[in-house]
Structure 1
């Protein structure tokens, strides 16, 4: 996903266009409504009256049955091809004479072939087909175009003809000679199907089957809301739909419906894009977030389209899962809008959009309310139960409101909701997958990372105990500010714990880890000391990647000094080399500067906490001056320029730092010593008590 942001530079609207195309492609193309699914149930819609006179078409199954019944009377037409028989006999005679076959054999075969062709030789497939028919007859057209009925048993097939040639062989002729003549090569079908006449005869029979079983007059009531849908009503509704499609053009109507779907899908996706541009610009310009959110919407819409096409119940699909994911990684408002856009688009695909929306919209609200922050696994399980309860209660309410009969509640729907519930609980696995694929970090992961018993933090506390204590203090300061100004407090708290892990490489070179009288910088040049201090940032990044820390945590390590300078060594070097041009790069951190509200908070908290240790006295005035001077310097140096933090946020942060530092470094009460007289009284009391 970082590749999308930094390398490809794909325009963000491209992702929205691609989502529209993908959803529209998988949207169901079937424009007819299956009224058979409503048979035996109350009609959900309003009054339906006939807009015109139209026939009531018979069901297709009934028509097929009646057609099959009348086709039992069907007799095909065949014609006699005399030229085939003459050509076959001539060919045989020429071949036999060329092979010097005795004349007696030739005359025998010629006589029998005349007899066979006179009776008629038909293809074996046609013979079997007619023999299996009800009448076992065909019409044979002679040379005068007169058709006469013939029984199929009066004809020969090539097999029957060959058997006749062999079985009728006189005793004076040798069988092996007849067999050597390959008589099958001269047995041509001379009874040929007349396709045109046969089709005409079949069509005339089918015309006798009426396609309708009554008529409906214009203005006649067909059905009203709440009435039970009977089989006859289904026939009438299907007939009306068929007439409408014939009148308007089925293909044209279908094409216009597809155009309408594309317009609506485009409008909804563009509305989502507009919301991000105006209210969530940070998410809009982060291609990773855009791809993630559109993937959630598109996946559910595509699944809905496939389920509708395959005839599966759409309530199995865990629509709340997308809401959970967007809520976990983005925010509640965006999650709710994502759910609404998804539900409305999917309602264009399902058979009963009114019921679908009445169930899905409240489920989205319940998901948001029950899952304020995914910081524990149990929260997702509780939220899943609330979603299941919402689905169940809403379904009962919608069924009673639309049907008015408790018997119309389908128990199978509760099974679908239970399957949905199971899928939503598996969202925890999807959260983990999205963290790895998109580089996100969830509340659960932050809680796990902030556990000081984690191996990396344990190692930090052992190798650099002063740095560990400093990180703990910075974590508390930064989290307090983040909570007040609406930033991500768990994220900044976790980032603060890891921001200085690079100091584990050379812990003794940092003040908080030094013991009195020990300073390894003595004897080093200012540039070398600065290099060692600066190096804790890239070293920290290396350690973080080695331990597979999320990118958001690595961002805190990289930005907590920004492009600022190691002021102590920089100023010391300048003081000693006043006439020399100083290379600021030798004393500057690699950056980048903070680019989020959270990383900006950490930079301020880190600087303030570290510098506060050097104060000679901790008064309200000294702490206030220190905090103001440090943060104002950071602003003057442009270190906070790229962060989306306001002057008001910075003032709030200053006040919180002052309050917290005063609490940490408040003057202790001097406990009074016991006077000699008091000590003597205590000793006497102890002696008496021991007696």
Structure 2
């Protein structure tokens, strides 16, 4: 009884421990899921804020006049009317001429500083009683120097810099202020330290020796006593220039300035320049700058939020994938910043920018709908930097649509040339149609726009080398790379054909089946073809253990069922190691790990159960590591791989046997839940079945036995021999 109680308690404890452990595992999974969700939300919030901040930072806010115009050239925009009153400013050359003319009457002000003279003369007297007395012949030298210095200071001494400015501005007279009185004096009478020193030496060369005077260091007693009065001088200068009229007329609000196709003459050119200056002035205030900034932030934020909402609702796989989200936002930022830069600094024309490159890249890596939405978003953001955005939006959206539908799958360089030509043609035709609507004179057509379109088409060709860079940065794989990988001269595939020729032939057949099925159900045929060629590369490690490579000898006979199952299962992990070693893209690795999913090695599993009916089976030993297919393409490959391999074991190839085989294998995969988390429909699976049946019937069709040519001489000889006998 005691032992029974202990056993019951022990059982209860074990049950409680199991329940506790199970709940703990659930809690850990929930905690990890929440942590992952928080990280994902933080990443999306950061990339949203960073995108808005970068775009808005580069958008022009300085009131830039967004028109390009040249004198004697036609106006290429629509009707332009004044939205406010503004003056017509004079030509800068004329204003400069008037300024130069009136500046002849300009007299800068200098303040007379008597203390400088007193300081210098006191120093001379002090030095004479000391060190200079021994150098002078008599008191007459001292008196001579003293008298000349007084005369110099009376005329005035200015600094070398001030004298340079007077000569530079061609100032003839200056005003000298002394005791609140201002007197005019010719600037030529003023001294600098250098000219005063030379004057002092040459004042009386008959009675006084210049060599003796040089020894007295007379420059020590010459100090500028006229100080430039900057404030008073600037005031006088401003008042003088204020008498000049800067305008020659006035343009009133609502007044027509110019219309499309009209020639920009001299007067219109000055009016447009005046409008440009006034526009910049009006937008230069702090409050206006804040309003513009707030508007730009709201505009970009709303568009980016709507775009993220679209991805969350209709493209959740891209929305959850950091690489895809980063690619979309990076391209949006790049083209928005380029446009803002060109408009801000008036650098060439925005119609040279290959905006169609954006939908081309996204279409190649992702899909058409996402490409169009991203392109539309980017064009709308770019349009707010332009004065007339409507033509820009119309042209760029049309080019984007042409780009998407002319280049669905890039596999050859010639496709990009064709797409670029069609895009340029679309630009030109649409622009020409709009010009015909607004113009009646064909001579006024803006030919520079067509040159811009041709440059745009040339720049579009750079999308090809950029694809490689985007693949490496964001982890995508383009069709160009897939085509290169599917070349059977690729070192890895060539090695597969040499080491495991049966597997290589099997992979080729699977690639043909899967590619055809992908085309029928709207999948990526090139992707599934390339994935099929590499899905069994792991068999190169032990090729003899796989039926298609055997030639009479089966090494499995010396192994247990468990060991054989493990050898077969390991071709998946071995394949992944080889893929890693040869830097195969992630999408190809996905085909390697999912082409058997979580299924079992049925031959060894069933054989083991048949021979050991009473023994418990370790399911994991016979189960592939998986996961199950998670895309339409990986699901098609799983079906093609199983069907092609099983078709080789059919005793006879009839329409009925092939049909039954395809139905049986694919239905069993559905029953096992292999496609439970895969975006493939029952309709798609039915189509895949039909394709497989058609292709297998073609491969294994019954051949007609050819008749042999009868030799008539031999027949006659045989007949004669029979008759003679």
TM-score, length of structure 2 as denominator length? 0.84
Deviation at 1:199, TM superposition (A): 2.0
Deviation at 1:628, TM superposition (A): 4.0
**1:29 alignment partner in structure 2:** 61
Contact 1:136 1:152 in 2 (8 A): yes
**1:477 alignment partner in structure 2:** 513
User: Quick one: which of 543, 558, 583 aligns to 2:578?
Assistant: 543
Q: What is the alpha-carbon distance in structure 1 between the residues aligned to residue 641 and residue 462 of structure 2?
A: 39
Q: What is the alpha-carbon distance in structure 2 between the residues aligned to residue 158 and residue 228 of structure 1?
A: 60
Contact 2:519 2:525 in 1 (8 A): yes
3-state SS of paired residue (1:139): strand
Q: What is the alpha-carbon distance in structure 2 between the residues aligned to residue 126 and residue 207 of structure 1?
A: 24
Shifted more, 154-163 versus 90-99: the winner is: 90-99
1:28–1:176 CA distance, 2 compared to 1 (3 A)? same
**2:465 alignment partner in structure 1:** 429
Q: Deviations over 1:280-300 (max 9, x none)?
A: 222222221222222222212
Contact 2:63 2:279 in 1 (8 A): no
1:440 equivalent in alignment to 2:476:
yes
**2:669 alignment partner in structure 1:** 634
Q: Deviations over 1:418-448 (max 9, x none)?
A: 3222211222212233333333333333333
1:123 equivalent in alignment to 2:156:
no
3-state SS of paired residue (1:213): strand
**2:409 alignment partner in structure 1:** 373
Q: What is the alpha-carbon distance in structure 2 between the residues aligned to residue 146 and residue 86 of structure 1?
A: 20
Q: Deviations over 1:538-557 (max 9, x none)?
A: 22222233333322122111
Paired residues for 1:132-281 under 5 Å? 132-143=168-179, 145-168=180-203, 178-216=213-251, 221-223=256-258, 227-236=262-271, 239=274, 250-281=285-316
1:333 equivalent in alignment to 2:333:
no
Shifted more, 181-190 versus 90-99: the winner is: 90-99
1:132–1:499 CA distance, 2 compared to 1 (3 A)? closer
Deviation at 1:578, TM superposition (A): 4.9
3-state SS of paired residue (2:313): helix
Deviation at 1:507, TM superposition (A): 1.0
Q: What is the alpha-carbon distance in structure 2 between the residues aligned to residue 152 and residue 74 of structure 1?
A: 12
Q: What is the alpha-carbon distance in structure 2 between the residues aligned to residue 13 and residue 86 of structure 1?
A: 75
Deviation at 1:218, TM superposition (A): 6.2
Q: What is the alpha-carbon distance in structure 1 between the residues aligned to residue 499 and residue 142 of structure 2?
A: 115
Q: What is the alpha-carbon distance in structure 1 between the residues aligned to residue 327 and residue 547 of structure 2?
A: 44
**2:3 alignment partner in structure 1:** none
3-state SS of paired residue (2:625): coil
Q: What is the alpha-carbon distance in structure 2 between the residues aligned to residue 650 and residue 477 of structure 1?
A: 13
Q: What is the alpha-carbon distance in structure 1 between the residues aligned to residue 453 and residue 342 of structure 2?
A: 15
Deviation at 1:621, TM superposition (A): 5.5
Segments of structure 1 that go 5 or more residues without pairing to the other structure are none
**1:408 alignment partner in structure 2:** 444
Q: What is the alpha-carbon distance in structure 1 between the residues aligned to residue 410 and residue 423 of structure 2?
A: 15
Contact 1:35 1:237 in 2 (8 A): no
**1:348 alignment partner in structure 2:** 384
1:173–1:57 CA distance, 2 compared to 1 (3 A)? closer
User: Quick one: which of 641, 654, 668 aligns to 2:689?
Assistant: 654
Contact 1:12 1:285 in 2 (8 A): no
Q: What is the alpha-carbon distance in structure 2 between the residues aligned to residue 211 and residue 187 of structure 1?
A: 45
Q: Deviations over 1:105-124 (max 9, x none)?
A: 54443232222212221112
Deviation at 1:226, TM superposition (A): 5.8
Contact 1:42 1:403 in 2 (8 A): no
3-state SS of paired residue (1:99): helix
Q: What is the alpha-carbon distance in structure 2 between the residues aligned to residue 95 and residue 451 of structure 1?
A: 101
Q: Deviations over 1:110-165 (max 9, x none)?
A: 2322222122211122223324544511112233x332221122222111221233
Deviation at 1:510, TM superposition (A): 0.5
**1:92 alignment partner in structure 2:** 124
**2:722 alignment partner in structure 1:** none
Contact 1:77 1:139 in 2 (8 A): yes
Segments of structure 2 that go 5 or more residues without pairing to the other structure are 1-35, 720-725
Q: What is the alpha-carbon distance in structure 2 between the residues aligned to residue 246 and residue 377 of structure 1?
A: 51
1:367–1:221 CA distance, 2 compared to 1 (3 A)? closer
3-state SS of paired residue (2:158): coil
**2:44 alignment partner in structure 1:** 12
1:614 equivalent in alignment to 2:646:
no
Deviation at 1:75, TM superposition (A): 1.0
Q: Deviations over 1:391-425 (max 9, x none)?
A: 33334333443344333334444433332222112
Aligned pair count reads 677
1:95–1:589 CA distance, 2 compared to 1 (3 A)? farther
1:132–1:484 CA distance, 2 compared to 1 (3 A)? closer
Shifted more, 152-161 versus 538-547: the winner is: 538-547
3-state SS of paired residue (1:521): helix
Q: Deviations over 1:590-645 (max 9, x none)?
A: 22322211111111221222223334455555545544443344334443233222
Deviation at 1:263, TM superposition (A): 2.5
1:44 equivalent in alignment to 2:44:
no
Paired residues for 1:390-539 under 5 Å? 390-516=426-552, 518-539=553-574
Q: What is the alpha-carbon distance in structure 1 between the residues aligned to residue 635 and residue 255 of structure 2?
A: 73
